[in-house]
Amino acid sequence: MSASREAVGVFADAASLQDAIDELLRVGFTTEAVSLLASEEAVEAKLGHKYEKVAELEDDPGAPRRRYVPRETFEDTERAAISALGIVGALGAAGAVVAFGGALGFALIAGGLSGGTWGLLGELLAKFIGAEQAEMVTDQIAHGGLLLWVRCADREQEISAQEILERHSGRDVHVHTLPATP
């Protein structure tokens, strides 16, 4: 297989990074073409060492990445997790009441109360996921910024990606070649 090319840039804040990604997607880049640096722990585990500055990883094809997941997808997943935990809790409590000979009305009330407990657990889980994401962003900013890689199919996309990254305050924007993968 042939080597591929990608644009890379470093962003000082999450808002500028998100603005750049939003524009990339609007002009036709796919979410599969966009990747971000993985967590500090993932980087250390894969590379076997800590990094001082994200600039060290810009052109490292071995740097662990995570696919970009649009906010809407992430929010939908959070809502689904909260709802699923609420339903599981409600059905579990209702099932227990019915199994022990309780009246249907009592089963529904118990299910609703228990569902609220499980729904709360789901909300806490969603907040944890959000907190984990926030911690990753904070860690990377402390190491010099947020890395964004954009796979480019041709020279036209390379130019477009670079212009977009620069327009949204990307630093050290450039295109590099990735080694061919078998």
Whole-number Å distance between alpha carbons of 14 and 134: 10
> Which residues face 21 on adjacent strands?
none
H helices of 11-154, where? 14-26, 40-47, 71-99, 104-142
% of the chain exceeding 70 in pLDDT: 63
CA–CA dist 113, 109 (Å, integer)? 6
Q: Which residue has the tokens 């939908």?
A: 76
Phi, psi of 6, rounded to the nearest 5 degrees:
-150, 150
Model confidence at 67: pLDDT above 50: yes
Distance CA 44, CA 38 (A): 10
Domain architecture of the chain: domains with CATH: 4-69+143-178 (3.30.70), 73-132 (no CATH)
Mean predicted confidence (pLDDT) in 59-68 = 92
Q: Which residues contact 172 (CB under 8 A, 6 or more apart)?
A: 8, 9, 10, 55, 58
Between these two residues, 51 and 130, which has the higher pLDDT value?
51
Pair 171, 9: CB distance under 8 Å: yes
> What φ, ψ does residue 68 adopt, rounded to 5°?
-75, 130
What mean pLDDT is reported for the chain?
A: 76
Q: How do residues 127-158 score in pLDDT, each as one tens digit?
A: 444 556 667 788 888 899 999 999 999 999 99
Q: Does pLDDT of 9 surpass 70? A: yes
Distance CA 61, CA 41 (A): 17
- C-alpha angle 71/72/77, rounded to 5°? 100
Q: Which residue has the higher pLDDT, 111 or 150?
A: 150
In this predicted structure, the answer to whether residue 48 has a pLDDT above a threshold of 80 is yes
- Name the least confident of 33-42, 112-121, 126-135: 112-121
Confidence of residue 10 (pLDDT cuts 50, 70, 90): very high
| DSSP label at residue 54 | G
pTM over 0.85: no
What is the side-by-side strand order in the sheet with 171-178?
65-67, 34-37, 146-152, 4-11, 171-178
